[in-house]
Structure 1
C-alpha cells in the first residue's frame, strides 16, 4: 500500500472544518465500548488470570462504564493491570475506554502493552482477535488507513460466524473494502494559505466567490466564545493580483446579531445568508435574502415560513443564477438529523415551499454544507451517512435528466479520518477554497486556504465567464434588463441574470459546448436576441447590448427561428424565440407588428419571395395559436431583396436567411 499524503501546516495538525453558530451540532458518532466488541461473545466469559482481587477491580470498572463514570472506570482497569500484568481482558477494556474518551495515543500504548502479553500461556485466539480489533479501530481513527487495513486482514479469518453477522463488523468490513479501492487513488494536492491581507482575523470560514473570481465573501468571527459576534466580510482582487483589505459587506447586512454562512449568485447581486436568534426569526437559525440594486445592498428580509422553519436552517447555496436555493436543515420530515433541502424562486420573486432533496443524497445520519457548482449539474455536500473515511466526508452528486445520482466520495486526501465540512470550487474549475481549524498554544484559529482542484474529478464542460453592459440605444442610459441563456435544443433556461440598474453592467456564464440563445429583455423595449455560437459572443469581454424603446418603425432581427433548407415549417429549436415573442406582445398589448421573411440569393427572386412569405406566415400562425389576435400580426415576404450582408460566403448567406420584426 502507498502511504497517505497528509496535509500539515507547521507543527499543528489541521482538518477541513468550518466553525460558527451556523454549524448545527450533529449527532455525535461515539465509538462506544459496544462498538468495538459487541457481539464478540461467542467465546464464554472467562479470564486469562485467576487473581480474584484483580478480577474484582475489572468487574467494578465494567459497572462504572455502564454508569458512564469513565474516569473512575479507568482507575479500576489500571489497578487490575497493576495487580496482574498478564490480565489481557483488562488491557482490552482499558484501551476501549480510552478510545471512547478520544485518547487514541494512550489507547494504542495500552493495546501495545497487551499485545506483548499474547505470548503468555493463558493467551487464546480470542485475545489475539480482540487486540487486533482494537488496533484496527485505533488506526482508523488516527487516519492510518494502510495499517488499519493490514491489521484487519490479519484477524479477519479468525472471526467467528456470529460476529461476522454483527452490524459493527459489517460496517468495518464495508469500510475496509472502500479503503482498498481508494488507497491506490490518492490525489496529489498542494494547498496554500490565502495571502495577506486575508486571514487577518482569529476566525474566518465558509469562503464563497463570484463567478469571475474577483470577489470573495466569508464569515468573520472575533473569537471562540459564545458571545463573540459573526459577520459577513468581503474582499476583492486588486490590479496587482492580490486581495484588498477585508471589510464588512454592508451596514444593511451585518447587525448586532450574527450573520454568516452566505451564498451569492454568480454575478454577486443576490445574497442569502444565515442569521440566528434575530427578532423576526422563525426558529433558531433562519435564512435571509438581500438584493444588490444600483450597487447597494438592500435591507435583507427573512425568507419566510415557506423556506424557514422552527428548526435549524442554514448553510445556503444558490444556483449560479439564483433560481434554486439549497440548504441544510434538521426540520421534521427529513431522513436523518440534518438533511439537504431546496426551494425554487418563482417569476414574481417569491420562493416555493421547501422540499427535501430525497434519499439518494440524504441518509439517516447528517448531510450538510451543500454547494451547487456553477453549471447547475453537480451538487457537493458533506455527509457522515455515505461510505467514507471517517467523520464527515465531502461528496458530489451529478444531476442527470433532472435526477440526482448516487453520491461519489471525493477521495484522499480531500477527505480523511477527520471532519471535512465544505468546499467551494471556482467556475473556472481551477481552485477549491475551504477553511481549516487549528488548535495551538496561541489559541484556536480558522484560516482560509485553497488548492488546485484535481482534474480527474470531472466537473462537466468548461464554463466561460463574460460580462458587458445593457444601454438604451436612444439615450445611452443603463437598462436593468433580464438576460436569459437558453438551450435551443430543449428550450430550457440555463442561466438568468439581471443587468445593474445604475450601470447597466452584467455578468454571464456560457457552457462551452452548448447550442444556446441569449435573450436580453426589458418591458417597454424591443428584445435583443443572439445566437451565442454563431454570433461568437461567448468570449466577448465587454458585450455592449443596446435595447431600443418600443416605437413605431423600430425593428429587430428575430434570431433563433430555424427552418430546414427550402422548407417553411418551424423547427423545434425555434420554440424559445417564439415563446418570447408571445410574451413581448402580451406585455405590449397596443403593439402591432410586421413579420418579414428574408432569404439568401440562392434561387430565383420569385421563388425566394414566396418561400420567405411562407416562413413569415409560419411565425404568424404560431402567434395566433397562442391567442395573439390575427390583426396584430401582419406578414410579408422580402425574398433576397434586403440582404444584411453581401451573399459572398456561406456564413453571410446564413445571416441573410432571417425573420425580422417591425413595430407598426
Structure 2
C-alpha cells in the first residue's frame, strides 16, 4: 500500500545505552554499518544471522582511531572499498571523506584521503557510494552551497573524482541537508533535512526524480559587459565644496596599497551618501604613490568605496555628528586581489536588530557588488553572514544566513545569475574581535562579507 510500517527496535544486540546510529547497509542487505559513541566515536559492523543481527564489532585500526571521530561509512557494490568520514590527522579540514580497500586477507587497508576535489577546510560527511560504484553523494558545509550544509554529487572518471556538483533545490535548502541515499535506478532518493513542516529537528524525506540521473541545467552564459575605462578626472559635488569652505568636514587622507606587497595602487575612491544614494565625490589616487585626499561632510551616513582593476572593492563607513569639529584622518586603504579564497567585509550593509531585510541605506553597497559581478563575468562569490554572541547560537546562525540570502536575492532580482552566488551563515562562530564590548567589539563582529569561491575554471 506504499506506506511505511511503524518502526521497530532492530535487535537487542544492536541497541545499547549509548548513541547507536545506522550509518549504512551493504548492497546485499546483510551487513549493517553502525556508528557508536563507544571510545571516541567509531564505526562497527553487524551481520544478519538468520532473523537477527549479530553483536556489533569495531572495524580495524585503519578505519577506527583512538583519539579521533569516525562518523559513518558506505560500502562499494563489489564490497572492496569502504568510504567513511573521519576528523583524523592528515585531513584537509574538519571531517573529511576517506576510502579503504579490502586486502587479500579480508582486512581493511590503510585509509586514503579523497583529496581536495572532495574535501575542503570544512566538514564533508555522510558519504554514500551508489550501486554503480562510481557516483558518490556526500554532505558538505565547505563547498559553496545554498544553505549551511548541502548535499553534493561527484563521479569517478578515469580514476579521478569530478568537481562536486550541488544537487540543488528542492533537496538542498537553507539549513541542514545530508545522509543522501539513492535507489539503483536513481529515481528515488532518501535524505535527512531541517525544513518547515517537519515533525522534529532533523526528519527523513524521500524524493522522486523525473530523470534516471540527476542532470543539472547548465547555467545561462553570464552577460558580457564591456569594462569601462575610468576617466581620471576628479568629481566633487557642489555641496561638498560648500562644507569644505565652512570647515564642517573631516579629511580622509592616506595611501591605497596592495594587501600583500604594499605596492601603491591607482584606484578610484568614491564617496556616497547612503541615505540618498547620491555620489558626492569621485577622486583618483596618485598612480605612483597611491596618495589620496577625500572630504567627508559631517552629519550623515556615508560610504567610501575604493576600486582598482584586479582587486575586490574596499568598503568603509563614516557616520559623523553634524557639529563635529574638523579633523584629519590618516589611513591606508588595503586592497585584496580578486583570487579564490579572498574575502572583504561590506561595511555599508545595514540591518535592523534581529531583522534580515536590507535597509534602504544598503542599496549603494549592494549596487557596488552588482557592478563587480558585471565587470567580472567569470567571478563566483559567497555571501557570508556573521553576528555577535547576543542571543542563542541557533538563532544567530539562522539570522546570519537569512541576512546573507537577502543580499543574494537582491543581486538575483537585478539580473545576476544565481549560479554565481551562494550564501552561508556563521552566526557568532567567527568573531574578528572580542564580544565583551559593543563599541569596538560586537558591532565589528556583526558583518557581511563577500568571499571569492570561483574564478573562471577554478
Q: TM-score under structure 1 normalisation?
A: 0.31
- Structure with greater proportional strand content: 2
- Structure with greater proportional helix content: 1
Over alpha carbons, which structure has the higher Rg?
1
